[in-house]
Amino acid sequence: MSNYTHETVPTQFVEVNGIRYAYRRFGKPGTIPLLFLEYFNSNMDGWDPDVTNSLAADHEVILFDNAGVGASGGKTPHTVAEMTKHSVAFCRALGLKQIHVVGFSLGGMIGQQLALEHPQLVGRLILLGTGPRGGEGMTFTELSPEEQADPMAFLLAAFFSPSEASQAAGREYMKRLESRKNDRDLPVSRDSAVAQLAAIREWGTIPATGRYATLKSITHPTLIVHGNQDIVVTPINAFILAEHLPNAQLIMYPDSSHGAQYQHRKAFLEHVKIFLSEGDSGVPDQDSIKSSVAWAG
């Protein structure tokens, strides 16, 4: 298994409750796997091969299409909570006792819900370009005809800042996405994308009471990564996560939008390495969690 790369690892399938989930698994065996949870309208081919291959040197990497997405069967649900259930079913089907989550945008919302509902299943959380339940400005609009017409131009505009340096990084990122030639994933259907949008909007709805109240219960060591000019999930959401999560480190990169981790991937990979190798001594004990919660309140 360890000889496979992002480019060569075959797509596999596992069936649970009549749903056939597509996944790809490679990297260093015998480690706690990194479970990659995808962003809106993306499939397993949407991850940067430089990032997955680099992380695979030290960790097992599992890319995974949630229900109804890409090559996976089933129907994409309309809530993050339901997507989380599918993620858990998938982990159980693979017999995974513990995972670290790498969740990007929508995937980071699922990651938070997973950590909240199944704290033992999750070791550490890496939250990329995402926001808390009921965050700021997280009520996304419908897919526009423009972005449907030219998804590459849309990606360059959404994932990278208007600067020349960022746009150049964006073009390189999109080139890297093509490095896997065979056994590509299936595109995300319009129905699946529409359901995902509904789920994101539901997640982004500001609750009448207790806004951000659940965050104090996610005590996992967490790395939050965001672009300081993110136009998809506004950067204040990353700050709110860092304020309210009891054990989260925030890293915000300059001159970058929703694809900050790809634009600054050299620094990002070093930062992830430090984060994943930190001893658990950094984890607050129960007393200190209580104190810091009172503090944050």
β-sheet bridge partners, residue 223: 126, 249
Select from 256, 204, 175, 209 the least CA-distant residue to 79: 204
Tell whether residue 202 is a contact of a copy of itself (CB under 8 A): no
- Residue number, 71 or 128, with CB nearest to a copy of itself: 128
- Residue number, 196 or 256, with CB nearest to a copy of itself: 256
What lies within 8 Å, CB to CB, of 266 at 6+ separation is none
Stretch of 79-87, 138-146, 206-214, 289-297 lying at the interface with a copy of itself (CB under 8 A) = 289-297
Tell whether residue 131 is a contact of a copy of itself (CB under 8 A): no
Q: Reduced to 3 states, what is the DSSP secondary structure of residue 250?
A: strand
Select from 48, 39, 263, 225 the least CA-distant residue to 140: 39
Tell whether residue 249 is a contact of a copy of itself (CB under 8 A): yes
Residue 246 CB, shortest distance to a copy of itself, in Å, is 7
Residue type, 106: L
- Which of 95, 141, 181, 285 touches a copy of itself by CB under 8 A? 285
Contact characters 140-169, a copy of itself, x per CB under 8 A: ---------------------xxxxxx---
- Which of 51, 94, 248, 272 touches a copy of itself by CB under 8 A? 248
CB 173 within 8 A of CB 259: yes
- Residue number, 142 or 164, with CB nearest to a copy of itself: 164
Tell whether residue 291 is a contact of a copy of itself (CB under 8 A): yes
**In the 8-state DSSP scheme, what is residue 208?**
S
CB 25 within 8 A of CB 12: yes
Tokens of 23: 């996944």
Tell whether residue 242 is a contact of a copy of itself (CB under 8 A): yes
- Which of 16, 31, 147, 254 touches a copy of itself by CB under 8 A? 254
CB 161 within 8 A of CB 255: yes
Q: Where are the alpha helices (DSSP H) in the chain?
A: 49-56, 80-93, 106-117, 145-149, 151-159, 164-176, 190-204, 236-244, 260-263, 265-277, 286-296
- Residue number, 35 or 224, with CB nearest to a copy of itself: 224
Stretch of 33-41, 138-146, 182-190, 265-273 lying at the interface with a copy of itself (CB under 8 A) = 265-273
What lies within 8 Å, CB to CB, of 282 at 6+ separation is 221, 247
- Which of 91, 124, 271, 276 touches a copy of itself by CB under 8 A? 271
Residue type, 214: T
- Which of 108, 264, 265, 276 touches a copy of itself by CB under 8 A? 264
Under the rule (CB under 8 A), what is the footprint of a copy of itself? 161-166, 228-229, 235-236, 239, 242-243, 245-255, 264, 266-267, 270-271, 274, 278, 282, 284-285, 287-289, 291-292, 294-296
